[in-house]
């Protein structure tokens, strides 16, 4: 069975897309810890980060770095935090989270955003990608 992220990548489930290339995809987390919380995933469905082939792992980190640099320009914050958990969705994903305090990296700390805010953030991050 396909993961929910595979369905998002395929366009079967909607998302606020931030970036995409042949192998990787970035979109906003639907239940964000902080405004701008972004998920970066390999299109190939693999459960655990360190089970990725080395080329895919390196490519994912390279792609996540590009997104994080754009994210920090789009969403004012002290820095972008990185976390890999995967206890909810068994499809590798890197959490990129704009941090202003330790609360923002706490997955019990959530913020509520309107659809228009999600759209604006995704568009802003995309505009800073290079």
- Active site amino acids: 93
Question: How far is Cα 98 from Cα 105, in angstroms, rounded to an integer?
Answer: 9
By CB under 6 A, residue 89 contacts ligand 5GP: yes
> x/- string (CB under 6 A) for ligand 5GP, residues 67-86?
------------------xx
By CB under 6 A, residue 31 contacts ligand 5GP: yes
CB closer to ligand 5GP out of 50 and 130: 50
Residue among 29, 60, 97, 122 that touches ligand 5GP (CB under 6 A): 29
Residue among 27, 41, 92, 113 that touches ligand 5GP (CB under 6 A): 27
Q: What is the DSSP string of 50-113?
A: GGS-HHHHHHHHHHHHHHHHHHHHHS--SEEEEE---SS-SS--EEEEEESSGGGG-TT-----
**Under 8 Å between Cβ of 27 and 3:** no
């Amino acid at each position: 069975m396909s993961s929910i992220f595979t369905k998002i990548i395929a366009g079967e489930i909607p998302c606020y897309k931030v970036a995409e290339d042949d192998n990787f995809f970035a979109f906003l987390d639907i239940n964000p810890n902080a405004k701008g919380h972004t998920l970066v995933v390999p299109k190939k469905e693999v459960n655990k980060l360190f089970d990725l082939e080395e080329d895919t792992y390196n490519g994912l980190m390279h792609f996540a770095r590009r997104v994080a640099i754009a994210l920090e320009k789009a969403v004012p914050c002290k820095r972008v935090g990185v976390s890999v958990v995967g206890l909810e969705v068994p499809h590798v994903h890197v959490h990129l989270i704009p941090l202003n305090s330790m609360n923002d990296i706490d997955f019990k700390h959530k913020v509520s955003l309107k659809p228009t805010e999600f759209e604006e953030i995704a568009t802003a991050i995309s505009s800073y990608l290079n």
